[in-house]
């Protein structure tokens, strides 16, 4: 997980607010992989 990964996810919080600016399937896959990595890190940190 890098700062660039977090920037990618942060960009979607703005993009989805505006119609017609949907992520491509590849962008969605990339975002899901990043989100899954973040989830694993947080769960490990919380010892879940």
* Each residue's pLDDT tens digit, 2-27: 888 888 888 777 666 677 777 889 98
Position 16 scores a pLDDT of: 63
Report the pLDDT averaged over residues 18-45.
88
Position 23 scores a pLDDT of: 80
pTM for the structure as a whole: 0.71
The encoded tokens of residue 40 equal 């694993």
Q: Where are the alpha helices (DSSP H) in the chain?
A: 3-15, 25-45
- Contact between 6 and 41 under an 8 Å Cβ cutoff? The reply is no
Domain ranges of the chain: 3-45
d(CA 33, CA 43): 15
Position 24 scores a pLDDT of: 86
């Amino acid at each position: 997980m890098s700062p660039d990964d977090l920037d990618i996810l942060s960009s979607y919080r703005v993009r989805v607010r505006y119609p017609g600016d949907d992520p491509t399937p590849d962008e969605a896959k990339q975002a899901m992989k990043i989100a899954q990595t973040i989830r694993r890190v947080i769960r490990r940190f919380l010892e879940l």
